[in-house]
Chains A and B, each alone.
Chain A
Amino acid sequence: MNRLAPFEWITAIRFMQEGKAQTLLIITGVALGVGVIVFMSALVAGMQANIIRRTLNYMAPIVVIPPDQVARPQRADEKAAVAALVQPRSQQLRSIDQWQKARAQIERLPDLIAVTPVASGPGFALRGDASKAVTIIGIEPETYLRVIGLAEKIVAGRPNPGTSDIIIGIELAKDLGANLGDKVRLSTASGAAETLNVVGIFDFGSKGANERNVYIALRAAQNLLNLAGGVSSIEIKVQDPFAAEVIAQTIQAETGLEADSWIKTNAQFFSAIAAQTLSNTLIRFFVGLTAALGIASVLVVSVVQKSKEIGILRAMGTSRMQVLRLFLVQGGVMGLSGSLLGSLLGWGFLMLWRGVARNADGTPMFIIVIEPMLFVLAAAGATLVGILAAAVPARRAARLDPAVAIRG
Chain B
Amino acid sequence: MSVAETAAIETLRLEGVRKSYGIGTPVEAEVLHGIDLVLKKGEFAALIGPSGSGKTTLLNLIGLLDQPTGGGLFIEGQKAGALDDAERTRLRGRSIGFVFQYHYLLPAFTALENVMMPILAARGHPDDEMRDTAAALLDKVGLTPWRDKKANDISGGQQQRVAIARALAMRPALVLADEPSGNLDTQSADSVFDLMRSVNEASRTTFLIVTHDPRLAQRCDRIIELVDGNIVSDKLNPNVIRRGEY
Contact = CB atoms under 8 A, between A and B. Distances in A.
A and B co-occur in one complex: yes
Q: Which 6 A-B pairs have the closest CB atoms?
A: A317-B93, A14-B108, A403-B65, A18-B108, A316-B118, A312-B104
A188 B65 CA distance: 97
A124 to B, nearest CB: 85
A350 B203 CA distance: 67
Contacts of B113: 1
Contact of A18 (B56, B65, B107): B107
Interface in A301-323: 308-309, 311-320, 322
A7 B108 contact: no
Contacts of A407: 56
A318 B104 contact: no
B125 A5 contact: yes
Interface residues of B, number: 34
Contacts of B125: 3-7
B124 A313 contact: no
Nearest to B92: A317
Contact of B93 (A309, A316, A401): A316
A10 interface: yes
24 contacts: A1-B120, A1-B126, A4-B125, A6-B125, A7-B125, A10-B120, A10-B126, A14-B109, A15-B108, A315-B63, A315-B65, A315-B98, A317-B90, A317-B93, A317-B94, A317-B118, A317-B121, A317-B170, A318-B89, A319-B86, A319-B89, A319-B121, A320-B86, A403-B65
A313 B60 contact: no
A190 interface: no
B85 interface: yes
A2 interface: yes
Given A5-B126, A406-B104, 7 more contacts: A4-B125, A14-B108, A312-B98, A312-B106, A317-B89, A317-B94, A320-B86
A316 B126 contact: no
Given A3-B125, A316-B118, A318-B89, A406 B66 contact: no
Among A312, A401, A403: residue with most chain B CB under 10 A: A312
Interface of B: 56, 60, 63, 65-66, 85-86, 89-90, 92-94, 97-98, 100, 104, 106-109, 113, 116-118, 120-127, 166, 170
Given A14-B106, A312-B104, A317 B122 contact: yes
B149 to A, nearest CB: 15
Interface in A333-355: none
A79 B97 CA distance: 102
Contact of A316 (B56, B66, B98, B109): B98
B48 to A, nearest CB: 20
Contacts of B92: 315-317
Nearest to A320: B85
Contacts of A317: 89-90, 92-94, 118, 121-122, 170
A7 B121 contact: yes
B2 to A, nearest CB: 24
B156 to A, nearest CB: 16
B126 A403 contact: no
